[in-house]
Structure 1
Amino acid sequence: MLHKPKIVVIGGGTGLPVVLRGLRDQNVDVTAVVTVADDGGSSGILRNYINVVPPGDIRNVLVALSELPDLELDIFQYRFKSSDQFFAGHAIGNLIISALSEMKGGIFTAVQELSEMMKINGHIYPVANEPLTLNAEFTDGTKLSGESEISAAHKQIKRVWVTSSKDNDGHPVRPVPEVITAIKNADQIVLGPGSLFTSILPNLMISEVGQAVCESKAEVIYICNIMTQKGETDNFTDADHVRVLNHHLGKNFINTVLVNIQPVPENYLDFQEWNEISQPVKHDFQGLRAQNCRVISSNFLRLKDNGAFHDRDKVVAELMNRLHQVHE
């Protein structure tokens, strides 16, 4: 049997499932490494009440890689209306993941069991088996803890790091061993698309994970965001995104960047509906090349529901293209 190329996708938030759904239908072995530092919405409430790893990002990834019929996935994704006071705002999938985490004594085993039940095509690894806290230092010297607090502060972030939510005695955060093995065996490592400071970096800031990515012989591809994010990446160029990643890991580890060059029509966007975004990411190709990046600029834009997103098929086609070029 031919070796299936191994692709590891690292991130969280809403961008990760988009890429995974496209990769699911390719002849590749996909591993999703998912952040466990989310503390907003339904995930945050469950995390506070029953001290489980926040399930929201994991739920969306399970659905993206599942081969179950749509009806079953719709039930898993169903979110109770706010008028249902007891369950208000909770997605059924979040409750199932939380229950299984309690039953199995941890999120990792729970997700592996659910992966079998949901006919997952690939592997889903929470980056750690415990809830993590994201911490940030801002350029004005102040510090904050908690992903939603950091985003809401609307200050320029200087650096982020993660700590264990369970104990604050300075123990280094340990990743799930399978995450490190997957990274070491990868043919391609994909970062993003997703929030730079709150979806991608929380994974890489676990020192063993960052080190494994830096030491990997695989091509590391960063899918640059189309829009800047309020309170996180205001006025960032594509080169600024890469600079932040490289700076956090102490070396130029990003090999290739996918950059959208299709203009976003200004009058199309609904900034109230998509209240996280501020403006299209500006281009600085010289700045990217100065960081030893291969730049692939193309039309990766998909306009949908008055928002600007990545076109899944175009992004996945480019990832497949890189895979074949590297391994020819």
Structure 2
Amino acid sequence: MKTYRIRRPKIVVIGGGTGLPVILNGLRYQSADITAVVTVADDGGSSGKLRESINMSPPGDLRNVLVALSDMPQMYEKIFQYRFKKEDDFLADHTIGNLIIAALSEMKESTYDAIQLLTKFMHVDGHIYPASEKSLTLHAKFLDGSEVEGESKIADDRKKIDYVYVTNTHDDEKPKAARKVVTAIKEADMIVLGPGSLYTSILPNLMIEDLGQAIVESEAEVVYICNIMTQKGETEHFSDAEHVKVLHKHLNAKFVDTVLVNTEPIPDDYMDFEVYDEYLVQVKHDFQSLRDEECRVISADFLELRDGGVFHDGNKVVEELFRLVFGTKY
């Protein structure tokens, strides 16, 4: 059951991957005015194949966000999320939802317009915008001076990343935010980053210059939901403070106001590392360095254990976000 308030706080959530839908689903039941800004730099799996085939934005993260904010019956959701088997030749690994987004992107000649149509079709409570209306290519420059192109390749060599940046995949124009994204950020009461892969889910959005600048200039509370686990080839040996330092370095500003940090330990031998092979160890805490970055730190048990994996408990995180948004703006 939704919780209704006289004033629905405007909350913009930015990111991608599997963590974003967890937070969005929780927010939907708190009657927030939600805007999801979703990365378009994914070049792996079904999304990668489709963006190469028909020159569209990668649909996978957008698909998962649509489902998270939709009130369609569970059976419809299962159909939309169905993934074809590996032995199905041409359709192998594609989801029905990805194919629907691809068809509408071709029909409307725009993934952005396709998503706006689907938000109505799927009774989405909120706004969903791709970060850019053109697919982006993520580049990583490593500390040894080498560079790699493509989100799916960044973690392969497990080198230490110096910085990342994005380019338009199919032209030489400067990447820019999609319609209404900058306005949503400017009008927000709260901006939430993550949870999600630091370099491949969060920063690809912030590296769109006008989008990143809008966050820096925003008067909204900017909240970073720190990852629970370090990630192979991205944040190996990182503390929570090092995650924030990377964000601040990329935008050349100390723009994160509050960091949500999980302090509940993961039971020994719990993680199924064969399934979740990108995760390494639990993120260590460095609260003093977080304060040196001018961040308020909220540390609590945000942990959910299921299916041999480690996740944020969406309800606990959203409860904290609402305490923050009403405490800072109302």
- Fold match (TM-score > 0.5): yes
For each residue in 1:144-193, what CA deviation from the matched residue of structure 2 results, as whole angstroms up to 9, or x when unmatched? 110001122311111000000012x3x21111130001000000000000
- The alpha-carbon deviation at position 3 of structure 1 amounts to 3.3
Residue 64 of structure 1 corresponds to which residue in structure 2? 68
Whole-angstrom CA distance in 2 between matches of 1:115 and 1:310: 25
Whole-angstrom CA distance in 2 between matches of 1:60 and 1:197: 20
Residue 323 of structure 1 corresponds to which residue in structure 2? 325
Whole-angstrom CA distance in 2 between matches of 1:325 and 1:204: 26
Residue 221 of structure 1 corresponds to which residue in structure 2? 223
What SS does structure 1 have at the residue aligned with 2:183? helix
Whole-angstrom CA distance in 2 between matches of 1:43 and 1:241: 27
Whole-angstrom CA distance in 1 between matches of 2:138 and 2:216: 21
Residue 159 of structure 2 corresponds to which residue in structure 1? 155
> Does 2:12 align with 1:14?
no
Out of 39, 44, 47, which is 1:43 matched to? 47
Equivalent residues, number: 326
What SS does structure 2 have at the residue aligned with 1:86? helix
Whole-angstrom CA distance in 2 between matches of 1:126 and 1:41: 18
Whole-angstrom CA distance in 1 between matches of 2:253 and 2:216: 8
Residue 135 of structure 1 corresponds to which residue in structure 2? 139
CA RMSD of aligned residues (A): 0.9
TM-score (norm 1): 0.98
After TM superposition, list the pairs within 5 Å mapping 1:54-133 onto structure 2.
54-133=58-137
Residue 308 of structure 1 corresponds to which residue in structure 2? 310
For each residue in 1:187-242, what CA deviation from the matched residue of structure 2 results, as whole angstroms up to 9, or x when unmatched? 00000000000000000000100000000000000000000000000000000000
Residue 249 of structure 2 corresponds to which residue in structure 1? 247
Whole-angstrom CA distance in 1 between matches of 2:103 and 2:211: 28
Whole-angstrom CA distance in 2 between matches of 1:151 and 1:122: 33
Whole-angstrom CA distance in 1 between matches of 2:104 and 2:279: 34
- Runs of at least 5 residues in structure 2 that lack an aligned partner in the other structure: none
Residue 286 of structure 1 corresponds to which residue in structure 2? 288
- The alpha-carbon deviation at position 327 of structure 1 amounts to 2.1
After TM superposition, list the pairs within 5 Å mapping 1:27-42 onto structure 2.
27-42=31-46
Stretches (4+) displaced over 2 A: none
Which residue identity lines up with residue 42 of structure 2 in the other structure? D
Out of 277, 280, 286, which is 2:279 matched to? 277
- The alpha-carbon deviation at position 4 of structure 1 amounts to 1.7
- The alpha-carbon deviation at position 266 of structure 1 amounts to 2.2
> Does 2:233 align with 1:236?
no
What SS does structure 2 have at the residue aligned with 1:83? coil
TM-score (norm 2): 0.97
Residue 192 of structure 1 corresponds to which residue in structure 2? 194
Whole-angstrom CA distance in 1 between matches of 2:156 and 2:182: 32
- The alpha-carbon deviation at position 47 of structure 1 amounts to 1.1
Whole-angstrom CA distance in 1 between matches of 2:118 and 2:145: 43
